[in-house]
Structure 1
Amino acid sequence: MKVKYYLELAAAFMLSVSTLANADEIYRLPDSIVPQQQIIQLRVDPDQLDFSGETWIDLDITKTTDKVGFYHIDLTLEKVELVQGENVIPLEVSGGEYDIFWGSAGKPLPPGTYQLHIRYRGKVNTSSDGMYLSRFEDRNYIFTQFEDMEARRAFPSFDQPNFKIPYQLTIESPEKHTVLSNTPVEKRQVEAGWQKVRFQKTKPMPTYLVAYAIGEFDSAEITGLSVPGKVYTPYGQAHRTRFVIQHTPAILKALEDYFGIPYPYAKLDFVAVPNFTHGAMENAGLITYRSSLLLLEDEPGLSERSGPLDTIAHELAHQWYGNLVTMAWWDDLWLNEAFASWMASKVMMQLYPELNFHTRIIQEGAFTADASPTTKPVKKLVRSSADVMDGLGLNYSKGESILNMIEALIGEKAFQKAVQTYMQKHKWGNTTADDLWAVLGDVADFDVPAMMRTYLEQPGYPLVEFEANGAVSQRRYHLAGAEVKPQVWNVPVAISYKKNGKIHRQMMFLNEPRVLNSQLAEADWIYPNDNAMGYYRWKISSRQMETLLSDIDVLNVREKKNLLYNSDALLKAGEISLQDHMQVLDVLAQEQDPTVVSAVVAALNDLLYLVDDSNRQVFARFVAEKLMPWYRKLGVGPQPGDSEEIIKLRQAVFSILSQHAPNEELEQVSKKMTRQYLEDPGAVSRHLASAALKSTAKFGAADWYHKYRQAYLKSSDANVRNTLMGSMYFPQDENVRQLLDFSFHEEMSPANVIYNLYVASKSQEKQDLLYSWLDKHFQQLTERMPSYHIGRMPEFVSSSCDQHNVQLARAFYPGRMEKFDGMARSFEVAMDEANQCLALKDRFQAEFTRYLEQVPR
């Protein structure tokens, strides 16, 4: 837990918070003490949890003070002193909030240059926070994950992104291990079975980018880079990196060309990490990945390439966005993540057009979370790690969506020019959002700062409505029955409309609640989101919608997808009837483009909250009527020349049919593929296998659980394990208990425990067994899980569209969530999601059932 008072230190130090006036207001170190560089020495043995360290931080004190602040978590400080020449000043340490400790000199410290020296001890974390232990095939490894505020678990520091300084690391460990860090090795000495490895000094960087890894690694060289590079893997796994090695050079070259700046570090190493809370981490010169993203087949299928390649592009883009140029504080984290995601998508479209990134509508990944009345702005007050993680996904999806929208308005070349100017101006430094808006404003013919602030400094997004007389209005989008504060955005609306038999296009900037656009009066139809680039929902009259649907071929694939998703959003907002929405779905279900049909399947999945025992059979009949023709056409076996869109559609169609419209044929096909996958995971594509495994778990015999578990334990392949773990939706009580107990198995990575709980939570419609188990094992569970997952647990486990389950959650968390940073906020979010879903179900389920009953038998 990060926001708390620390009551324990070495016996030599007495902790006291009484000296800190208004301590609850101090969540950042003062700007008057500025670190210049830091030397860190560590002694770490992966086979021992205890470690020791020593650090020296050069400081400039610019204003007289009597104390020096620094961060640490759970370290035992043995010596803390300030050195100035021959003068050594012992510091008495007291603890404050937000992990800040204060070393008091007992006398005024005049401005000048000093060195803070700290000797300390600690314990290696076992749940993938900070510096942590990971075990793979009977070997122990040490990895680090320091973003956002976790470096302080490994060494005392000025752990803030605005303090961007060089670091020099020296690590002692048993000589059998390979020791890696951000920079090349400068010197290595071996004595008495131990090695002492000193690394070259880093370029200036924030503390969260410091990284190291210790273990018996294998490696493979990445050739064709502008700097030396290798992929490091756990012992015996390097042969599985050929795909990554083949594609990384082209991705790096595309980024270097876009920025007009060479890759800025001395080397580029990748590390495959068996136990990783997140997907990957952009540590300068030592990028870490979940092993499932790097350890692949030599030629994975088209649908299995997107994730690894996109992640590599994202992390490499961070070497410029985030590393070379770093946000000044965590409230601008979106500057890192949105730009890296946006740049990765651009690279994917350039290098891999066959993967169809151009048809992805990124904002759809943000709209659901951003519609909640409880959501916070992307740019918000950040004091603790829990604040950073609150709504973290919007930094990626909403941020990337806004950048897409701005680039579409400015133009690609002008946007690239602004980005290059931004990078050159601020390289090796820190920035705020204002710095970005300034350079974009220089190449735009509209007020970029005003527009960006309305989207990033307030929550939510607009619903833009078009009336027959040409009136255009905006209000905050919200789900039916929700209460939100009124807001106004500066909305760029790219409009196509048909009038008097001709199609016209127009751009308008809507920055008032309501305006009159006479050109739109009496239009036959309006499509107000050209190429689906806008970050807003929209509404036209039912007459115009009918006319648009009859003219559907004027829309491109992205626009057809947006039309369907927008209709679903209007339904959930209570702006249209279910009949109106199903009319849109029915028209698009007749399309032959596989990308559009995949969107139809996604829309059907989005209606599952309305399905229960009262209408399950008629829903199954409806889904079969819509999709069995596609199943007959596509089957489950790959065909020569299959495109990525066809592969995805095949998987989507089989998945929804096998799980929600089962028949004897589908069940037999599922069981056959399940047997094949359990015997040979390479025999069935991973995504099809996942659908088959889920169907077999749901409808098959109870003893399948033991077969899944045995296959999981037999395999060391992270992708196989993830597929099996994510498919264990066994409804039987005993199987659910065994699945929950599996959270404590030594072969279950601590980083994956939360996903195991998620699957167990969705295995049964009533969650009494789940909460009974959680009540018994909660302390043991939280000791095993990463802190980020503990804080987010209610969102993963307890968001439900069942009133009984919501009551179970409301009874379970009080008295527990107050002990963990972020859990109270996560509980608020989960309960809001549940209540909104229940309200929608109450509003639409009867109408939905009546609609389904019209389907011919």
Structure 2
Amino acid sequence: MNSWIGIATAHVDYRLPTHVHLKHQSVNLQIDPSNPIFSGSTELDLKLTLPTKSLAYHSKDLDITEVSLIYQGKKWPLNITKPDQYEIVTHALPIEINGSATLKIKYRATISDHVEGLYRVQNDKGQVYLLSQLQSMEARRVFPTLDEPDKKATFSFNVTAPKSYTVLHNTQASSVTYEGDAKVTQFNKTPKMNTDILALAVGQFAQQTLAKNNLNAMVYSPVSHKAMLPAYFDKVVVDSVSFIEDYLQSPFPFQRLDFVIGNFGGIAAMENLGLVALNENQVPTPDATPRAHCQFKKLIAHEIAHSWFGNDITMAWYDDYWLNESFTEFIAAKVVKTLYPDTASCTHVPQAKAFNDDNLHAIPLIFDVKTREDTVAYGQLYYTKGRAILEMLEQAYGAKALQKRLQLYVKKFAGKNVSTHQYLALLPDTKLQNMITSFTQNTGYPLVTMSKRGDHYVLTQNDLLDRNDMLWTIPVSLKLWDGKQVSTQKLILEDAELKITLPANVQSIFIDTNGAGYFRYVDGTGLKEFPFDKLSPSEQASYRDNQQSMAISGHIEYMAYIDSVVRELNHLPLDSEQANTLINQLHYVFIDHIQLGHQQPFARYLSAQLTHQPDWETLLENPYGGDVLQFFGLYLKAPDAIKAAKEYYYRPNSHQHPHFDKMIAVLANSTTNTQYQQLVTQFKQMPSQVKNNMLPALGYVNNAKKVELYYDLLLSDATTSMVIDVNFQYPAFNPALRVIAAELIAKRKDKIIARITPASLQWFPYSFITSCSKAQQQAVSKLFNNWLHVEGLEEKLNVVMHNIEQCTKRSKKISLSIASIH
């Protein structure tokens, strides 16, 4: 069903009337960060294209005290009414109006303790500041407004705050005046924009000016936590703007590009127009891994790309969210791959992170959105699957051809709202349109198999979720090797199978050129294995990930896959990025694949097969040394790794070591209960940045008592200003502790619900996404049967239950394969 067609043309009860438009809104706020209540007044200048006897707007948790209609020079007071289930307030009017009208509203509201609307942050040095997060449907928590993406308007903000505080907004201040102990900051009018990307920050901020930037870009961060940005930050900002301008043949759409760095909870960044938000936990240290720096560069490029995709050209409604996020991620990856090719590994095969989440209970990229709770379900598929779809499109259509289409898209829809339907109309090939539709409107992905029948080859597709009627339109690019040179052959698989002809001298094929395919694949031709050194880094990453998937699903023998990983790892230095990729694959083997009764013999087998003798003194000075330490110490139980973790931990200022969190993970798993309690006590004395890294590491525990201590820590005052919900999963990474973890969470249900917002609470079942047995499934079911009142939680629980069922089935083959090494 093309869900965007009906939404664009017909009124539905969860949308504001289409004949009412917001031309301009002025917002006056009186804010004191030390006071949980703030007050505001606002004027909404409206344009009506049809006569009406009612007006509607959004309001959430606002105490509205006065509403007036100004029409044709007269003022009418309106009755205060409550929002409906979609947070829409509707006022019956005393007269019928048309043309122009103004609503004047006075109200009070509460500063949130969660990352929503206008919220409060207090860091470990006692500094208090306010930040905002208005995406999605959260502006209505801060002021009454027409809070929909297609209700673009200009805004004027006037903020009164204590004079010791600075106020930041999307635009520069036009004036600052003082009234006693208060400071009044009047801001310039914004460009025409949607409410999601409005922003406020109130606090005491240090500022840094970016060099070599025509936009005079600034970076703001709390004075007590001044951001230590990588030396390349300025260059990434400048180069990203230049690259995107050139690629799209479109100048930067706005006049300002500043950044504010602070505690944005679980949000990595937010593309607020003119004042991009960056989470302080995303800024890598100089000694972070090349992959971490790659990810940070991509994050910066992603937020800048939003200036075109999202901020200037905005989705028509939230069901087209992929037009914002997938397009920006596609462009950001292109920035990093083009400008920083030597350190672009984080851009390889985004679909590798999508496949596990894209199952029967997943939500397609395009789905009906009605409420804020629906938008919480967006997840990472928009960044991984969405980008992969565009890379498949680019491969099939041609890089230059797609670039021309994106240039047309930007030119045609500049400053406007757009739907997927309108975007597809720009693609001249119906097969490519069908490809986009089949992957954005359906969940899951196909298995593509190449086999030989007689004197010809056949390409077939099957649904990996066993839906018999499911077919995709799949662009496939085959990489061919004849013993001397490489060539490619492009085709589109639409039906269940496709007969193809290959050159007579072909010796090997690789089914996923450039690693762009959003599918799994099997080479059943009987031809020689494709030479690994003839594959690009993206193709090698695709091959490794596909081999792992095929081993898990039983298409290839599991221990044969493990042995191939070990052979490759034995030929690589442990401090290399390639080795780190393989170590991380083995790391997740222990979390996702190896079940009770097999972890110890599997660890012994790996210890015997791996030929490396780690030099910890040298390794721990290397960016990848922490991952090596965690793998050898936590999973292989190597005595020398555990000894190294202890030695480094007790050195002076060890909390400043870049691998401190990895040391903690090893110690959390190998120390006594008393020693673990000491780690918890030391955690409480650490600076906030150290706490953010240390808290997850403390979750890698090995017995029930430590789980209890860890969960009590999560719910203690020591973590009040931290995001704790995701951390409940770490004890459940250990198969022996999953049932225990479920029981201990059940005992803490009330405290958990009191600490975590319903929007985040609905994801709590994902703490057990790695569970993999009937006993574990029963424990998870028993735990969450009493939580089903939380909106959205039952859907997430169904996903987890499905994953457990599938894992339980798969684990039988894996266990048999592992049993062969005992």
Judge same fold: TM > 0.5, yes or no: yes
CA displacement 1:35-70 (0-9 Å, x = unmatched): 111111111110011111111111122223332221
Q: What is residue 6 of structure 2 aligned with on the other side? A: none
Q: CA deviation at 1:221?
A: 2.0
What residue is the counterpart of 2:655 in the other structure? 681
Query: Would the alpha carbon gap of residues 634 and 624 (structure 1) be closer, same or farther in structure 2, given more than 3 Å must change?
Result: farther
Match of 2:582 among 586, 591, 600: 600
DSSP 3-state at the match of 2:150: coil
What's the counterpart of residue 460 of structure 1? 444
Query: Which residue of 2 is the match for residue 116 of structure 1?
Result: 103
Q: Given the alignment of the two structures, is residue 340 of structure 1 paired with residue 328 of structure 2, yes or no?
A: yes
The correspondence for 1:548, drawn from 529, 544, 547, is 529
What secondary structure sits across from 1:225 in the alignment? coil
Q: 1:705 aligns with which of 655, 658, 676?
A: 676
Equivalent position of 1:282 in the other structure:
271
Indicate the SS of the match to 1:55.
Answer: strand
Q: Distance in 2 between matches of 1:664 and 1:829?
A: 39
Matched, 1:558 2:533: no
Kindly provide the amino acid, as one letter, of the partner of residue 351 in structure 2.
Q
C-alpha separation in 2, matches of 1:337 and 1:178: 31
1:88-487 alignment, distance < 5 Å:
88-92=75-79, 93-105=81-93, 109-136=96-123, 137-238=125-226, 240-241=228-229, 243=231, 244-245=233-234, 247-294=236-283, 297=285, 302-357=290-345, 360-370=348-358, 372-439=359-426, 441=427, 447-469=431-453, 470-478=456-464, 483-487=466-470
Q: Which residue of 2 aligns with 1:830?
A: 800
Secondary structure of 2:684's partner?
Answer: helix
Q: Give the letter for the 1:669 counterpart.
A: A
Corresponding residue for residue 528 of structure 1: 511
Conservation of the 8 A alpha-carbon contact between 2:42 and 2:104: yes
1:846 aligned partner:
816
SS at the partner of 1:307? helix
CA contact (8 A) 2:241 2:304 kept: yes
**Match among 465, 488, 491 for residue 508 of structure 1:** 491
The alpha carbon displacement at 1:523 in A equals: 6.2
* Pairwise CA RMSD: 2.9
SS at match of 1:765: helix
| Larger mean Cα displacement after TM superposition, 188-197 or 302-311 | 302-311
Q: Structure 1's 40 and 390: CA in aligned 2 closer, same or farther, altered over 3 A?
A: same
* SS in structure 1 of the partner of residue 763 of structure 2: helix
Which of 79, 91, 95 in structure 1 is aligned with 2:66?
79
Matched to 2:377, the amino acid is: D
Q: CA deviation at 1:712?
A: 3.4
SS of the residue aligned with 1:41? strand
- Matched residue of 1:714: which SS? coil
Residue 571 of structure 1 pairs with residue 551 of structure 2: yes
* Aligned CA distance change for structure 1 residues 400 and 840 (closer, same or farther; 3 Å): same
Q: What is the identity, as a one-letter code, of the residue corresponding to 1:413?
A: K
Return the offset for 1:450.
Answer: 2.0
Q: Deviations over 1:774-819 (max 9, x none)?
A: 334333323322443212111135652243332222112224232x
Match among 791, 794, 816 for residue 821 of structure 1? 791
Q: TM-score, normalised by structure 1?
A: 0.87
Cα distance between partner residues in 2 of 1:838 and 1:565: 21
Residue 292 of structure 1: CA displacement? 2.1
Alignment match, 2:714: 743
Deviation of 1:455 after TM superposition, in Å, equals: 1.4
Shift in CA distance, 699/527, structure 1 to aligned 2, threshold 3 Å: same
Residue 631 (structure 1) shift: 3.7
Call closer, same or farther: CA 1:651–1:622 in 2, change over 3 Å: farther
Corresponding position: 1:665 with 2:653: no
- Residue pair 1:471, 1:517 contacting (<8 A) in 2 also: yes
Distance 2:346 2:115 in 1: 35
Report the CA distance between 1:713 and its aligned residue. 3.4
TM-score by length of 2: 0.91
Question: Residues 675-719 of structure 1: CA distance to partner in whole angstroms, max 9, x if unpaired?
Answer: 34x72334x333xx4333211210123344344334433333525
2:477/2:490 contact within 8 Å kept: yes
- CA deviation map 1:536-581 (0-9, x unaligned): 111122733xx216x4444333323322321222233343443664
Secondary structure at the aligned position of 2:353 is classed as helix
Q: Check conservation: 1:129, 1:786, Cα contact below 8 A.
A: no
The 3 A distance-change label for structure 1 pair 664 and 581 is closer
In 2: Cα distance, 1:517 partner to 1:568 partner: 27
DSSP-derived class of the 1:77 partner: strand
Question: Does the Cα contact within 8 Å between 2:595 and 2:811 map onto a contact in 1?
Answer: no
Query: Tell me, what secondary structure is at the counterpart of 2:299?
Result: helix
1:519 aligns with 2:502: yes
Identity value in percent: 23
Quote the Cα distance in structure 2 between the aligned partners of 1:178 and 1:333. 33
Deviation at 1:176, TM superposition (A): 0.9
Alpha-carbon spacing, 1:501–1:175, altered in 2? closer, same or farther (3 Å): closer
1:590-629 Cα shifts (integer Å, max 9, x gaps): 6549555444334433432443452233211222234342
Counterpart CA distance in 2 for 1:592 and 1:359 is 22
Per the TM alignment, residue 498 of structure 1 is displaced from its structure 2 partner at its CA by 5.0
Answer with 570-579 or 461-470: which moved more: 570-579
Change over 3 Å in CA distance of 1:291–1:454 after alignment to 2 = same
Q: How far apart are the structure 2 equivalents of 1:782 and 1:232? A: 34
Question: Within 2, Cα distance between the matches of 1:239 and 1:34?
Answer: 40
- Flag the 1:154–1:751 CA change in 2: closer, same or farther, 3 A: farther
CA distance in 1 between counterparts of 2:320 and 2:127 reads 39
Q: Residue type of the partner of 2:587?
A: N
Q: How far 1:845 sits from its partner (Å)?
A: 0.9
Local SS of the residue matching 1:489: coil
Gaps of at least 5 residues in structure 2 are 1-10
C-alpha distance in 1 between matches for 2:708 and 2:562: 40
**1:695 correspondence with 2:666:** yes
SS for the counterpart of 2:778 is helix
Secondary structure in 1 aligned to 2:408?
helix
- Which whole-Å deviations, capped at 9, do the CAs of 1:5-40 have from their partners, x for residues lacking one? xxxxxxxxxxxxxxxxxxx96111121111111111
Q: Is the 8 A contact 1:44 1:171 kept in 2?
A: yes
Contact 1:623-1:657 within 8 A present in 2 as well? no
Given residue 448 of structure 1, which amino acid in structure 2 is its aligned partner?
A: L
Q: 1:423 and 1:708, CA in 2 relative to 1: closer, same or farther beyond 3 A?
A: farther
1:129: how far off? 1.3
- Taking structure 1 as reference, are residues 607 and 725 closer, same or farther at Cα in structure 2, changes over 3 Å only? closer
Q: In 2, Cα distance between the equivalents of 1:521 and 1:182? A: 62
Contact residue 34 and residue 60 of structure 1 kept, 8 A: yes
